[in-house]
Structure 1
Amino acid sequence: MQASIKLTTDTAYDILQTERINPLDAIFAPKTVAVIGASEKPGSVGRTLLWNLITNPFNGTVFPINPKRNSVLGIKAYPSIFDVPEKIDLAIIATPAPTVPQIISDCVKAGIKGAIIISAGFKEAGEKGIALEREVLEIAHKGKIRIIGPNCLGVMSPMSGLNATFASKMAQPGNVGFLSQSGALCTSILDWSLQEKVGFSAFVSIGSMLDIGWGDLIYYLGDDPNTKSIVIYMESIGDARSFLSAAREVALTKPIIVIKAGRTAAAAKAAASHTGSLAGSDAVLDAAFRRCGVLRVNSISDLFDMSEVLAKQPRPKGSRLTILTNAGGPGVLATDTLIESGGKLAEISEAVIQGLNGILPPQWSHNNPIDILGDADPKRYTKALEIAAKDPNSDGLLVILTPQAMTDPTKIAEELKPYSQMSNKPILASWMGGEDVAEGQKILNNQGIPTYAYPDTAARIFSYMWKYSYNLQGIYETPVLPSLECDINTRDCVLVETIINEARKAGRTILTEFESKEILAAYGIPVVAGSIAKSAEAAIECAEKIGYPVVLKLYSQTITHKTDVGGVQLNLRNAEAVKRAYHLIETAVLEKAKPEDFLGVTVQKMVKTSGYELIIGSSLDPQFGPVLLFGAGGELVEVFQDSSIALPPLNTTLARRMMEQTKIYQALKGVRGRKSVDMTALEELLVVFSHLVVEQPLIKEIDINPLLAIPPTADYPGGLIALDSRIVLHSVDVKDEQLPKLAIRPYPHQYVSSWKMKNGTSVTIRPIRPEDEPLIVKFHQTLSAESVYLRYFHLIKLSQRIAHERLTRICFIDYDREMALVAEYENPETKETEILAVGRLSKLHGNNAAEFAMLVSDKFQCQGLGTEIVRRLVEVGKTEKICCISAEILGDNLGMQRVCEKLGFKISHTNDATVLRGEIDL
């Protein structure tokens, strides 16, 4: 019998939902609210909070807490939280900071699950405030109470009427979830939203994020059916891993748009490596947003414009925009902004030009922007748009109208209504002017065509749309496994560990070039090998073994930038040149450094073939930990600063995206008669390099500069080779628990192991990876209708189960949120790898519980495979410190029930007579 369990988070295909309570419901949907610090003092926070709660009905009860008054604003007051006659869901605290720890302790004892700390005077006030925060957080964690704040404006839930803030007005209901670290900005946005008639599903001032952070709120709003998009004003990232994990999951279904303050802050001072001087923290933040599908904008107006347009129009598939206008000037302005913001003008196809020739006056522009001239009537606009919309070279349309004598803005808007929902590309409009175009703007907006007063604004919005689409494509695109072997067992990890440990024992934090290259070679990265020579005679001997011409480089345990001290001599063609070069390096170094800084030279083969000098590196960011850098390298790397940033680990898709963001990328693909370098090999090398960074946490900074990328020629096959490398280690006084954490959890190799089925067949059980999508497609082709029904509680077509968008979410998982195990083996007949079973453990949002699902190919059922995968998922749950695991099982699925009972699950009935629930406490 098929061993399968329903996974309720697979909402697109499951018809049965389990009702759950999210801990944040106590804050956003309370039935009872206590205002601690309620007051009648005019202008006080405590009075304003209470007034806002009682004048905006939210179908709940409010209890003022004030030990000095019997009533506040005519409502009976209570001396303490323990005197309130009902169980309280939410406590709002507006008392001096030193009183807050005791109040939170009282809330815990009273069983309150949510609190908003309005009070200031915490970490922003110095060491005493920081100590108070630590005390509050310790109490909260032990008592399992969730806290927003401190030092915040509060929370509004306009859909229910809850106004738990001290703002002067209440937000209008809508479908935008707004989160802000600035309370002052919240009030400004609130005023603006009332004027512009922008509504919110939630309006949250998050404060200093003592407990509840971005990740918690993104998950909550992601699950909220009233929220269609999430907009964020951010000053600091807080828990980077939590933010990235939540944003990546939610951004696939709901746009997340961020404006981040501090964009122009000075980059961190250059570290010992080149990478440290290039990877400024703001560039890292941009890379993080790209990695999780978040769109970053630069102005508050863009924040809400993007929220609107992404709700109304489809995402563009590319960056090419077609501009249709009745005036040349506005079209040119839109073009300038489009190009400057990263978009492109679509090249109009010949078919479209011919079609436009048939309906437009001869004087039309015959190019993009398509200028249909100032006397364009509604019919000309409509016909031109109909032709332009069919252009396969275009990814979006911008229609510009300027009010001229023969122009009817209202009627033209009416004629454009049928084009408001083109499925394959967005349409935007710029109706320029005042009263004359107001009615037309209203018609377009009501029809779902966003309108903008100025065409350059519309062009910028399109570029943002493309950037958002581009970010999501990076998540959706299926990578491939590199041919450069990424199996951890094939690397010479013993050699790497030995090199690093010996350096640390000697008190060194900087590895020599020789040691650095040994580590690269241990990971399969091609290097120019060298030999150490401690005298001129030894250098000559090494050169003659290697073969001329050769390169001599300073060998030192302290000097990292060899060229800065004259420590490199190139293209040495005989023994005399080697001898002279050795003494030149020795003299130059001793003039600028100490005698112990010169330990000899390394002798390397001179690479004759010309190519492109690249840099690949990693350094530390204070918020995101290790970050990767790729770009143009060589001696002038800091001058040109042509580089891009990414977070490790990479796959081949992410590596290519990283390369695409540099100018040198175009040259690498071939220019001026040169062939392209091996781009696949370069992608794979970046992936392997990211594995090195992930797996060697004692490495603080690492550069390969230059990495020579050589295009193939008639007499040379081309290739990649590391000419120089530099590695900086963490000092010995840095303990393991103090080492920087990765912002994105890497592949969990610890859960990989082999196992034998009952029939003796050996399989490997391992975590799923993004590259598994083709194997999962084949796996679903092996499933019977019964297996599908037992897993999903209803039949699902194969085409739905193997849809790319769905499998992307299944294969490209966040290992902090989910752990999916697959069982694979090599088919003895076809010699191809096949997946035989999939088991998934998913954490529930808002708490530390998880649910699991499991599915076994029909051909391999009854071999103990399902039981083994469930057993391993339980062990994963224990390791990941999950408190309990549950699953829903069809009553007909007797085999799954037996598996669960065997492994210690308790089986119980649910409200649905056909469904049972299995649960185990860990």
Structure 2
Amino acid sequence: MGRARVLSCYQEVLFMNQETIQALVNPGSIALIGVPRGLKAGKVFLLGLLDLGYSGDLYLVHPSAEAIDGIKTHQSLTDIPGEVEMVIVLSPKESIWEVLDACAAKKVTVVVLYTSGFSELGGGHDRRDEERMREIARSGGFRIIGPNCMGIYSPGASLAPFPMMPRVAGNIGFLTQSGSLMTLFINACALKQLHFHSSISYGNSCDIGLAELLEWMYTDEQVGVICSYTEGLEDPGALHDVFKRHAWRKPLVMWKVGSTDAGGRAAASHTGSLTGKAHLWDALFRQFGIISVSDIEEMLDTVMACSRFSRSGRGRVVIISGPGGPAVSASDAVERNGLEMATLSESSRKRLENILPPTGTSRGNPVDVGLGASFELGFYLDTLEVLIEDAGIDALVILGGGISDDMNRTYVDGLIRVKEKTTKDLIVVTYPGFMQRDEILAPLHAHGIPVYSTPERAMKAYARLLRFERFQEGRISAVSCSR
């Protein structure tokens, strides 16, 4: 199979070769084994492929049906006349050994095992079954994703395990042990126009696991940001080795669950994962600049920061606000997250005196443009025009908006014009009641302007990215000095 071998301090780890990677994210042919005739759980795989318009060779295997949803079926995998790169197994647990033997005989490249009922149930027997799967795969020359997983989402290849998933491809990679979380997170990101290169739901990971998948995504130039939902893993040594080689290359946003007793028990019953002690994971993340988050909102916020922010500067922030209270809250959020309230230049202050009304406003930081700015949006936009030219500012946080949809559309158009003139980060905060409608915010997302619902969420995400950048700069400098 041509797999590279790397010895971790725990066990031998096999890293995927290019043929395996190609079959994972852009297979030329797929066979679905055990597709139900009725509308049952396994049918979503077929519906997902048809919905995204998969254009490769698609085969269905069923022991008795002649056709399913108008597509001809084959009685067995070996009856298929053409080559099969990927097999998706929907069959019950009892038939798994016959199916895997057929995969070896057919010389497939990748097998996705949706089938469940193994180590997530607990007990040594079920874990030995997974070890046997891995041995069959290695002797048969193929690799396994799963069992107990939803498999692959790759919009560039029109590959999805669910219908109605986004068709637009991007540069985000998502690795998750939970298949349902795959769809929830990808669809939530799509509302922000954040799009994915690929996502792998790997379940119990009897063969291909997190370390291998990270090795691939870290070195794939088409992936710019990686995020991961992780319950646990068998070989932390392999993960340590991958981080040591590659963690500086690009940000990894990691949501590690199972840190409590209840969470650990839930992870064991979900994917059979051994979660490990929280403080050990935290130490590993700090050592290698991994961005740790604790829920789906934090993961989305941070992925948006990694995708949209310029990744430059020292974290010097200016706040521009009409409402006063939120500006105070935003100032707290800046310092609480280790960022710096920027000092405006004398030139900027003088120019603002000519723009803002003399009363009810402030020319410090925060810059208070006054409540009248909700009626006269030019106060916001003219202030931004001044501050994007201030060399002491890296990021501008804008709080507020207009009082009608039409005014907010004008406001959004103005923000986009300002962004086109600068490399500084514009961060828009839209409190409930201010500019919350998706159709109004969509142009901001389309032009790469991050939008958050509170300044606290915005500053936390921005600070996380800056900490990774400092780790990255230190790592690159250390490498340069050692040469």
Q: Settle same-fold status: TM greater than 0.5.
A: yes
Contact 2:355–2:382 (CA under 8 A) maintained in structure 1: yes
Contact 1:171–1:193 (CA under 8 A) maintained in structure 2: no
1:29 alignment counterpart: 26
Question: Could you tell me how far 1:471 is from its partner in structure 2?
Answer: 3.3
1:148 alignment counterpart: 145
Question: Could you tell me how far 1:120 is from its partner in structure 2?
Answer: 0.7
SS of the residue 1:477 aligns to: helix
Contact 2:197–2:222 (CA under 8 A) maintained in structure 1: yes
Contact 1:37–1:65 (CA under 8 A) maintained in structure 2: yes
SS of the residue 2:459 aligns to: helix
Question: Could you tell me how far 1:319 is from its partner in structure 2?
Answer: 3.5
Structure-2 change in CA distance of 1:173 and 1:447 (3 Å): closer
Q: Does residue 1:468 correspond to 2:468, yes or no? A: yes
Structure-2 change in CA distance of 1:433 and 1:91 (3 Å): closer
Contact 1:324–1:398 (CA under 8 A) maintained in structure 2: yes
Structure-2 change in CA distance of 1:192 and 1:360 (3 Å): closer
1:132 alignment counterpart: 129
Contact 1:409–1:437 (CA under 8 A) maintained in structure 2: no
| CA distance, structure 2, for counterparts of residue 440 and residue 50 of structure 1 | 35
1:234 alignment counterpart: 230
Query: How many residue pairs get matched?
Result: 449
1:856-888 deviations in whole A, cap 9, x for unaligned?
xxxxxxxxxxxxxxxxxxxxxxxxxxxxxxxxx
Contact 1:58–1:160 (CA under 8 A) maintained in structure 2: yes
Say what the alpha-carbon RMSD is for the aligned residues: 3.4
1:385 alignment counterpart: 384
SS of the residue 1:329 aligns to: helix
SS of the residue 1:77 aligns to: strand
1:448 alignment counterpart: 448
Structure-2 change in CA distance of 1:109 and 1:201 (3 Å): same
Contact 1:255–1:310 (CA under 8 A) maintained in structure 2: yes
Structure-2 change in CA distance of 1:284 and 1:321 (3 Å): farther
1:414 alignment counterpart: 413
| CA distance, structure 2, for counterparts of residue 205 and residue 214 of structure 1 | 10
Question: Could you tell me how far 1:422 is from its partner in structure 2?
Answer: 7.0
Q: Does residue 1:123 correspond to 2:122, yes or no? A: no
The residue identity in structure 2 corresponding to 1:464 is: R
Contact 2:186–2:196 (CA under 8 A) maintained in structure 1: no
Question: Could you tell me how far 1:123 is from its partner in structure 2?
Answer: 1.0
The residue identity in structure 2 corresponding to 1:330 is: P
2:458 alignment counterpart: 458
Question: Could you tell me how far 1:461 is from its partner in structure 2?
Answer: 2.8
The residue identity in structure 2 corresponding to 1:307 is: V
Question: Could you tell me how far 1:147 is from its partner in structure 2?
Answer: 0.9
Equivalent residue runs for 1:168-187 within 5 Å: 168-175=163-170, 176-187=172-183
| Residue segments in structure 2 that go unaligned for 5+ positions in a row | 1-16, 265-275
Contact 2:111–2:143 (CA under 8 A) maintained in structure 1: yes
Contact 1:291–1:475 (CA under 8 A) maintained in structure 2: no
| CA distance, structure 2, for counterparts of residue 71 and residue 356 of structure 1 | 72
| CA distance, structure 2, for counterparts of residue 295 and residue 35 of structure 1 | 37
Structure-2 change in CA distance of 1:173 and 1:203 (3 Å): farther
The residue identity in structure 2 corresponding to 1:389 is: I
| CA distance, structure 1, for counterparts of residue 434 and residue 130 of structure 2 | 54
Contact 1:248–1:293 (CA under 8 A) maintained in structure 2: no
Aligned partner of 1:302 among 298, 306, 311: 298
2:270 alignment counterpart: none
Structure-2 change in CA distance of 1:184 and 1:411 (3 Å): closer
Equivalent residue runs for 1:170-249 within 5 Å: 170-175=165-170, 176-189=172-185, 192=188, 198-222=194-218, 227-246=223-242
Contact 2:51–2:163 (CA under 8 A) maintained in structure 1: no
Structure-2 change in CA distance of 1:472 and 1:290 (3 Å): farther
The residue identity in structure 1 corresponding to 2:165 is: M
Structure-2 change in CA distance of 1:265 and 1:348 (3 Å): farther
Structure-2 change in CA distance of 1:400 and 1:213 (3 Å): same
Question: Could you tell me how far 1:129 is from its partner in structure 2?
Answer: 0.8
1:763-784 deviations in whole A, cap 9, x for unaligned?
xxxxxxx3xx3474xxxxxxxx
Contact 2:396–2:427 (CA under 8 A) maintained in structure 1: yes
Structure-2 change in CA distance of 1:265 and 1:31 (3 Å): same
What's the TM-score, normalizing by structure 1? 0.44
The residue identity in structure 1 corresponding to 2:470 is: Y
Q: Does residue 1:113 correspond to 2:109, yes or no? A: yes
Contact 2:118–2:129 (CA under 8 A) maintained in structure 1: yes
Q: Which has the larger radius of gyration?
A: 1
SS of the residue 1:398 aligns to: strand
1:320 alignment counterpart: 316
Question: Could you tell me how far 1:225 is from its partner in structure 2?
Answer: 5.8
Question: Could you tell me how far 1:29 is from its partner in structure 2?
Answer: 1.7
Question: Could you tell me how far 1:351 is from its partner in structure 2?
Answer: 5.2
Contact 1:382–1:416 (CA under 8 A) maintained in structure 2: yes
| CA distance, structure 2, for counterparts of residue 403 and residue 128 of structure 1 | 63
Structure-2 change in CA distance of 1:306 and 1:53 (3 Å): same
Contact 2:400–2:434 (CA under 8 A) maintained in structure 1: no
Q: Does residue 1:373 correspond to 2:370, yes or no? A: yes
Question: Could you tell me how far 1:323 is from its partner in structure 2?
Answer: 0.9
Aligned partner of 1:39 among 8, 11, 36: 36
Contact 1:398–1:459 (CA under 8 A) maintained in structure 2: no
SS of the residue 2:255 aligns to: strand
2:337 alignment counterpart: 341
Question: Could you tell me how far 1:222 is from its partner in structure 2?
Answer: 4.5
Structure-2 change in CA distance of 1:298 and 1:321 (3 Å): farther
2:399 alignment counterpart: 400
Aligned partner of 1:160 among 151, 157, 160: 157
Aligned partner of 2:58 among 59, 62, 65: 62
SS of the residue 2:54 aligns to: coil
| Residue segments in structure 1 that go unaligned for 5+ positions in a row | 1-19, 269-279, 479-769, 777-922
Contact 1:157–1:202 (CA under 8 A) maintained in structure 2: yes
The residue identity in structure 2 corresponding to 1:27 is: L
The residue identity in structure 1 corresponding to 2:425 is: P
Structure-2 change in CA distance of 1:266 and 1:81 (3 Å): closer
Task: Pick the structure with more helix per residue.
Answer: 2
| CA distance, structure 2, for counterparts of residue 171 and residue 55 of structure 1 | 10
Question: Could you tell me how far 1:190 is from its partner in structure 2?
Answer: 5.2
| CA distance, structure 1, for counterparts of residue 254 and residue 87 of structure 2 | 29
Contact 2:302–2:462 (CA under 8 A) maintained in structure 1: no
Structure-2 change in CA distance of 1:262 and 1:340 (3 Å): farther
Contact 1:292–1:475 (CA under 8 A) maintained in structure 2: no
| CA distance, structure 1, for counterparts of residue 444 and residue 74 of structure 2 | 54
What's the TM-score, normalizing by structure 2? 0.80
Equivalent residue runs for 1:835-850 within 5 Å: none
SS of the residue 2:84 aligns to: coil
Contact 1:64–1:75 (CA under 8 A) maintained in structure 2: yes
| CA distance, structure 1, for counterparts of residue 208 and residue 169 of structure 2 | 23
Equivalent residue runs for 1:654-733 within 5 Å: none
SS of the residue 2:157 aligns to: coil
| CA distance, structure 1, for counterparts of residue 362 and residue 449 of structure 2 | 25
| CA distance, structure 2, for counterparts of residue 196 and residue 304 of structure 1 | 9
The residue identity in structure 2 corresponding to 1:174 is: A
Contact 1:93–1:117 (CA under 8 A) maintained in structure 2: yes
Structure-2 change in CA distance of 1:33 and 1:456 (3 Å): same
SS of the residue 1:296 aligns to: strand
SS of the residue 1:23 aligns to: helix
| CA distance, structure 1, for counterparts of residue 108 and residue 294 of structure 2 | 39
1:67-93 deviations in whole A, cap 9, x for unaligned?
344444444433332222122211111
2:427 alignment counterpart: 428
SS of the residue 1:116 aligns to: strand
| CA distance, structure 2, for counterparts of residue 173 and residue 247 of structure 1 | 29
| CA distance, structure 2, for counterparts of residue 436 and residue 89 of structure 1 | 48
| CA distance, structure 2, for counterparts of residue 69 and residue 212 of structure 1 | 32
